[in-house]
Structure 1
Amino acid sequence: MTFVDEVKNAVTPRAALLVIGVLGLQLLFIASYVGALHKPKPTDVAFGVVAPRQLSQQLVDRLDGLPGGPLDPRTVSSAAEAREQIMNRDIDGALIVSPEGRTDTLLVASGGGTVLSGALERILTQVEASQQRTVRTVDVAPASPDDFDGLSSFYLVVGWCVGGYLCASILAISAGSKPANRQRAAIRTAVMALYAIAGGIGGAIIIGPILGALPGSFWGLSGLGALVVFAVGMTTLALQALTGIVGIGLAVLIVVIAGNPSAGGAFPLPMLPDFWRAIGPALPPGAGTWTARSIAYFRGNAVTGPLLVLSAWAVAGTALTLLLSMRHRPGRADDSGTETARAAGGSTAA
């Protein structure tokens, strides 16, 4: 046998295509992570301004005209309203101008990301200094001392996502290339649901009672975790049912390559480039990270949209998995294998 024949036996055409696909995923991984995270800068950060009427619009215009467009300022009626909008996650910070003294107040929320709150402090300190004024910072939703840079929410959701597609991958390949019939698909869906519940509760136990990294409702985080795991898992099962083993790679593309760098974890969404800022909220890691931070630091506010996103992934994945399973009659693959075994047994007996 020649060397070329050995190569052909070692690497089949199908394997070669899969290797090329993996290379593509590797390059996309590098491009996505480096593209999203190599040069973070605040852009169009939702920002409130509370100032005397005669100064309010002038200050908004000045902030709106800062080089690079870091802020998207708008007037807010009062300091109390500014705090409420921050807690509702409508704005990321606010400047309260003192009508009497020369020291103003900057409201931030490091629970939404300490990198962003630090950037706002630097920007407003420079702006105030140019007007011979000073600023003091008040953190209205501070991150936990045990939640460095506010990253615990992100890593928690990443763990849930990884668990979701790993469990689904194991379920999908456990029967080799055997397609999922209706009964098998229903069983896998039930197993995925039980696994999601266990994963959600387990993650909440680790992040809360054990490590003390995140405050907030234990059961709220548990429910979120179950939804994230189930959404990612059922999406993976659906993609595998649609495209075979390639579907696992597609799940990695959606969740890991596109989802993680755009999730607003390492850097909050206003600090990401436009493309990643746009896709992040529509993908499970981004929706999960936003919701986890809201539960931990913002009284559970502003979670309806992200929960609908996660629910849509879960419902679509489940529906597609079950619908695709209807292409295969129950027992067809097994009957075929039985007939083959019988034929082999008959020929041996002969």
Structure 2
Amino acid sequence: MPGMPPEFPETPDLPDTETPETTNPVPPRREFLKNAALFTGTVALLGGGLEVLTRRPGALAEGEPGELLAQARRPLGPYDTSEAVTPYAQATTYNNFYEFGTGKDDPARLAGSLRTRPWTVIIDGEVKKPVKVDIDTLQSWFPLEDRIYRMRCVEGWSMVMPWLGFPLAALLRRVEPNSHAKYVKFTALDDPKQFPGQRSSVLDWPYVEGLRLDEALHPLTFMAVGLQGRVLPNQNGAPLRLVVPWKYGFKSIKSVVRITLTREQPKTTWALAAPDEYGFYANVNPAVPHPRWSQATERRIGELRRRPTLPFNGYAEQVAHLYKGMDLRRFF
């Protein structure tokens, strides 16, 4: 693959005897959540183009997904994968969201407890123009784009997700990082009344993630407000989530309420909980196994056989240069 660093060996072809993910049960600490689908329908690939829905102004009312979007068609863009999209019903019922709990059926029972309006986001820290803004005003600042990205979980499963949102770089440039800004810290909502999983000590709350500033400014890094042309469902991180497609899914923090630019590398939730298992970078690397899951292969949701895991989740050509000279085995 062009741009592949030497730390990533070529992945061999797999025999037909590869077993599905279900033969390797997930321990409770990283057990993915089974979610409830809020809405119906899917996005269809039509003749090399994607049937997508585009935003109508002033229409992000909670529970009114049809008011957010109207049908349009466009060709695949430079950041899109042409792989088959994961069906909407599976994409909204098979994910991790520990704020709702660690059980697979917790989001199906509890996602309705989250109220995404009103919702305020703070962007502050090492910036010239800090701001506190309502979510609807925030997304009105940018034309909404759709991106079809691969998503890879450290547990060994993957999806293809059509997100709707805007590049994080557009937001960061608006607030003008100063010369001291080196990292971006993201903080999720901390409210046990809305997130029953936060009543447990499975993690230290609130959930925190972070990126280097150059990672955050990369054109692939995305803030999503929608999924498959609809309002982002609660169980998928409503109303605002980070999407970093070349990193394992736990980096893509959900239900964001604060974005802070910092001088120092932020302490992130999973790196604090299990530093030997979850590093700050979390780049998809088939050559570096997790202590409990090999990363050499993955199972795409909806498929039976496993497939080789791609370095940087298939985005090596776009992002490998960000890590030139780094030991990618050490900096997991």
Q: TM-score normalised to the size of structure 1? A: 0.25
User: Which structure is higher in strand share?
Assistant: 2
User: Which structure is higher in helix share?
Assistant: 1
Q: TM-score normalised to the size of structure 2? A: 0.26
Q: Which has the higher contact order (CA 8 A, sep 6+)?
A: 2
User: Which of structures 1 and 2 has the bigger CA Rg?
Assistant: 1
